[in-house]
Amino acid sequence: MVVLHPLSDFIDCDFAIADSSCSYWYEGRCPQSGVRLKLPRTSMSEAIAHGLIQYLAKNDCYSHEGKMYGILLVELPNGEQRVLKAFSGLLNGCSVVEGWVPPIPGRDEVAFEEGRTLTELDAIKQEIITLKQLTERQQYEILFNDFEQQLQIMSDRHRYCKHQRQEKRQQICNTLTAEALTIALEQLDEESRQQGIERRQLKRQQKKVLQPLQQIIAATDARISELKQRRKALSRQLQAQMHASYSLTNFSGRSQSLQELMPGGSPTGTGDCCAPKLLHYAATHNLKPIAMAEFWWGGSSANQNKIPGEFYGACAERCQPLMGFLLSGLRPNSPAPFPHFLPLRERREGGVRSPSPDRGGVWGEVTLPIIYEDEWLIAVNKPAGLLSVPGRYRNRQDSVLSRLCHLLPDGMALISVHRLDRDTSGILLLARDRQTHRQLSQQFQQRQVHKVYEAILSGVLIIEQGKIELPLWGDPENRPYQKVDWQHGKPSLTHFQIMAREGDYTRVEFTPLTGRTHQLRVHAADAQGLGITILGDRLYGCRAVTSRLHLHARELRFNHPQLEKTLHLQAITPF
């Protein structure tokens, strides 16, 4: 089965030579040495992945079920480069598909047991579905609601009668005496007793009718609970058997089972993800990994919340714990998984450090061009795909701030003054001390900083210029997506100016006066704004296949807090 593909199946090979910038690191510590090992997701591997996306988009069979796909760029012993591709789990019910990396060895050893267990699990599933559709449930619901309605009508009538009796008691106490009063009061008490009997009779009738149904439903629910426990036990048993059989091999030639690698237990599907399949295959076929990329394609359920065509890192539960072992054994001279740090060169002019023309901090193959720096602040040209500051989770630690912390002698003291979206490139400003940070932050808050962005819209905009003023709100259940919300949203204002119309696209200049999350992206995409998404903005509906979000923070003008002069910083738009 052919699984090694030429680069020409996915991209123009000239791209492979021209661009090797990185947007994400697959990483983990070697279990033996403790050394942190890294494998990048480069712009080249992303371009290869986009080529695969185009192929998937042309074939409906890949769009029915949502899943992760991945590619691994590898080098053969003779120095030639090839591409491996993989899917997570099963593809249209099959684990082995022509042209794709096969599953990790181990599944075949438990194939019979897996088939028997899956058949039993399916039978359990069908029985649970049947039991949940029990007709007695509907009967009980209808009868219960009917009795409740009767009881409510009776209660309302009895309440009215009680009120009437109270008024009669007052009346007869004032008008009747002796024996006539006693008889009248006894009649009212008897009426009250009869209504109590009437209510108890209806309750007894309700119990007599509903109790048999309740018993059937309770027995059914107990059976469902029993089936669910059985299903859970079977799944755990099968998972344990598979994890004991699954054997992963790394680049030092060492093999271990999933059970050995994750003795505390592992989630369902561990070992079936793209990254382990790709790296295991490369390790067992003498292939050197250069770069990897994983993306989602197909439908997405509410709990997955994944965007088709969007790149994702190693999943924290299944893949990340295996990454250190899988990368172990890669040669130290391999440029991709072993990033190196080049020291920053400095030269002084009049006591203020300024960048030399080729100045830049290097992290692996990615540069951070320094636009301006002095003893109080530093401005860099952030590449697309890199976070401004570290994220909350382990796989989102790579950022401008964390890189500068390693690259600069005073890096640990740096504080980001503002942020750019991960996929937005351009000028990012950082302060070197808290006082400068506070003064610059105040300028941003008071809207004294002039910001200019350049973008390409994925369509033709007819109007030449104008302003967009919309209230934006981020739904806490669907982060980081923002939307226009006239009830909860915060005000946002953007001026725009057409720069050029280029075929089916429009180059536009944005000047935001506020700084809401995703402000320009929503102002462009929303029908109440421009109604045209920024090219490459998959989160807000752009379906064009492109290597990046075409949004760039081009200019930043502000007052230098210490030098008391206006700084006007500019970064050339890279698209």
| Residue where the block lists tokens 């237990």 | 265
DSSP letter at 102 equals P
Whether the Cβ atoms of residue 575 and residue 569 lie closer than 8 Å to each other:
no
Residues 6 or more apart in contact with residue 125 via CB below 8 angstroms: 231
One-letter identity of residue 98: E
As a whole number of angstroms, the distance between CA 141 and CA 199 comes to 21
| DSSP SS3 for 319 | coil
Q: How far is CA 379 from the centre of its chain?
A: 29
Residue type, 459: G
Euclidean distance between CA atoms 546 and 534, whole angstroms: 11
Is 421 considered catalytic here? yes
- Spatial contact of 532 and 539, defined as CB atoms under 8 Å apart: no
d(CA 224, CA 212) in angstroms, rounded, equals 19
Dig out the tokens for 289 from the structure: 């990994």
With contact defined as beta carbons under 8 Å apart, do 105 and 247 qualify? yes
Contacts of 305 (CB under 8 A, 6+ apart): 478
Q: Residue 393, class by beta-carbon neighbours within 10 Å (0-12 exposed, 13-18 middle, 19+ buried)?
A: exposed
Contact of 432 with 416, CB cutoff 8 Å: no
Report the C-alpha gap between 509 and 467 in whole angstroms: 12
Using CB atoms within 10 Å of the CB of residue 94, give its burial: 0 to 12 exposed, 13 to 18 middle, 19+ buried: exposed
Residue 1 neighbours by CB under 8 Å, 6+ apart = 96, 98, 99, 102
Measured in whole angstroms, the distance separating CA 399 from the mean position of its chain's CA atoms is 18
Reply yes or no: is the peptide bond before residue 480 cis, omega within 30 of 0.
Answer: yes
272, 421, 423, 537: the catalytic one is 421
Maximal CA-CA distance, the chain: 121
User: Which helix (H) or strand (E) element contains residue 227?
Assistant: helix 178-245
**Based on the number of CB atoms within 10 Å of its own CB, is 373 exposed (0-12), middle (13-18) or buried (19 or more)?**
buried
The two three-digit tokens of residue 479, written as one number: 């982060």
Inter-axis angle of helices 111-132 and 178-245, to 10 degrees? 170
Neighbouring residues of 172: CB distance < 8 A, sequence distance ≥ 6: 181, 184, 185
Interior CA angle at 71 toward 104 and 547, to 5°? 160
330 class by beta-carbon count within 10 Å (0-12 exposed, 13-18 middle, 19+ buried): buried
User: So which residues are the catalytic ones?
Assistant: 421
